[in-house]
A and B are shown apart, each in its own frame.
Chain A
Amino acid sequence: SQQGEEDPQALSIQEGENATMNCSYKTSINNLQWYRQNSGRGLVHLILIRSNEREKHSGRLRVTLDTSKKSSSLLITASRAADTASYFCATDSNYQLIWGAGTKLIIKP
């Protein structure tokens, strides 16, 4: 069963614009993680936010977590062509990571 569900499924923006992706989940969590997957490659960890945190930053990435709404958002500021990838959220449940289906982000030059 899918715990996290990303929204939108696909997003296409101009280079330099900000990109926002959302993730909703169903059960209580210890943490929520965001990963990036370039085409044909494995997933790469971007950021982990714990359930007692509300916001976290890493470079051009900003993640928020609202446990009351069971949702998280990933903001990528000043997007670049290299940000073109699929982005996945994952939540931990019973010592396993449960994954959403991902958001496909395309940055147009």
Chain B
Amino acid sequence: DAGITQSPRHKVTETGTPVTLRCHQTENHRYMYWYRQDPGHGLRLIHYSYGVKDTDKGEVSDGYSVSRSKTEDFLLTLESATSSQTSVYFCAISESAENTEAFFGQGTRLTVV
């Protein structure tokens, strides 16, 4: 398995609180992605990074921010969690943006109450 670790694996938080999810890779891949997975929607891209300090928005970026200060770490922050952000969050990595497979972490199940 590709070396991708997401933490925490499960979290319950209250509406309005900030939450940070961490993705750590040991593969030295350039690209890192944060997705959310909800029933009936497949995976939707939140933000992605194409290098240290280089990030861009995905399809559903509102309410989320990211940071990548090191190649191996990609953080996803919910500044003020809402119930609509209850979801399973996946981190993925890839060597390049084209014609290569993505490797996924095990996911973080976030519940906002």
Contacts and interface: CB of A to CB of B under 8 A. Distances in A.
Interface string B33-51: 1010000111111001010
B101 A33 contact: yes
B89 to A, nearest CB: 11
A86 B73 CA distance: 28
Interface residues of B, number: 26
Interface of A (DSSP majority class): strand
Residue of A50, A99, A100 with most partner-chain B CB within 10 A: A99
B102 A45 contact: yes
B90 A43 contact: yes
Contacts of B33: 97
Interface of A: 1-2, 4, 30-31, 33, 40-45, 48, 50, 88, 90, 92, 95-102
